[in-house]
Structure 1
């Protein structure tokens, strides 16, 4: 069947190494949308950042963010959302605060953290109107409708933090390495494949009408869910093993080339 939905990871996939979308890629995606293809974002980032890049593409589709924990737009009810229980949110934030870990969490389009530290959010530097709400010790007021936590700038190695979270919370929380110095934490059973499936179902599409693209371990479930999977040359070996097609790197218009080949 023809591809009717394209879901694109941001960092390392759609975005170049300097966190931008090339003109060539924008042009190819515009051509796809002009033919009725829906283009959306599937990212571990939060809602505001996902929407920002979707709008750069002139896409008004619901976005898949927080590693699949939230699918929707800012101004409407979500297509899908999975939130931590507020009591668990309070318990985890207290756990992180007591250890002096830098944790941020999301509610809607807002980011909350103990305080804003610019160096911790380098990946967001190309997102317009990006702000962090520094709440200090008043964090217990902000615990409703939280789909994801992020531990940033970990100084003892990822493994020690993941182990500490798993030892305390067991299967209530699922930590996953995001970069070399940060860990995303989602509710159990949440990943990008869940978000893509929710959007496809809402659109009345089958997976053979869906293309997905990603490069990292938080893309694995999405890449192997049964959609047409694309991985750029810079992707992790595990991502490439799950790809239907390996394209050029994110700095060489890889996504544009794949869409031109298989969609247009």
Structure 2
């Protein structure tokens, strides 16, 4: 089988724990790109937070953002295959967030928004501030999410989190019970909520159709529960060594963790 594309989850997969792409991986990605292999980033992140890596890796493919809620074409600065939630759905989610007391960020078509600076965001801002000014994404502190929802052209995702795991699980169950959302866990204490049907797998399918590439010709790398839809739909699904056992069980095989050179080693085997 000659694979034509490789899709990467970012956090916990392509990125090491310091949020950087390992130099060996960058080198191999440059080499396989030169051979015509398409490299695509598939993330729960907002496009503005994907862009620094897109720029660093000199990519030309659209990014799959917010767990498949939309594709973003950085060359044209436009969204593709977008499936945002309605304002009514967003306000229902906001009520559930408030009812269960979980933290959230709301991702709009323009930027990420937050009301409370939690420990995860503090670490995130350290990374943002380490970037050159022209690569720093805009993350807006707001006073009222209802106003954000009313004024946004599109709402793509609620990124919810809590150190109170029972509360977050109850929130997740309540979201699932509405039967109109996809609630996927991106970390042990973080759950991403988007419109039902928006998954990394569906986003990859949209992109493959646009590129006229068969899914069987795509390799996918991932580490978390929100990567399972991508790992299982791709021709070859590879889980990271740092993934949970349930995620590993859905992959074709498992390599080393995201802080090792396992991705670079595997790409050499597959493409060079």
Question: TM (normalized to structure 2)?
Answer: 0.87
- Residue 247 of structure 1 corresponds to 255
Deviations 1:167-225 (A, max 9, x none): 5xx10222222223221101111211111111111111112221111011111111111
The residue aligned with 1:6 is: 6
Encode CA deviations 1:131-157: one digit per residue, 9 max, x unaligned.
321221233434431111111334353
Is residue 71–residue 79 contact of structure 1 (8 Å, CA) maintained in 2? yes
Corresponding residue for 1:35?
Answer: 35
Alignment RMSD: 2.1
Q: Does the 8 Å CA contact 2:185/2:191 hold for their aligned counterparts?
A: yes
Alignment of 1:1-264 (within 5 A): 1-74=1-74, 75-97=76-98, 100-115=101-116, 117=117, 119-121=119-121, 122-123=123-124, 125-127=126-128, 128=131, 129-137=136-144, 138-157=147-166, 158-167=168-177, 170-264=178-272
Partner SS for 1:88: helix
Does the C-alpha gap of structure 1 residues 124 and 2 become closer, same or farther in structure 2, counting only changes over 3 Å? Answer: farther
Contact 1:120-1:153 within 8 A present in 2 as well: no
Kept after mapping to 1: 8 A contact 2:109/2:153: no
CA–CA distance in structure 2, aligned partners of residues 196 and 231 of structure 1: 17
Cα contact 1:64–1:192 (8 A) shared by 2: yes
| Partner secondary structure for residue 138 of structure 2 | coil
State the 4+ residue runs in structure 1 displaced beyond 6 angstroms: none
- TM-score scaled to structure 1, two decimals? 0.90
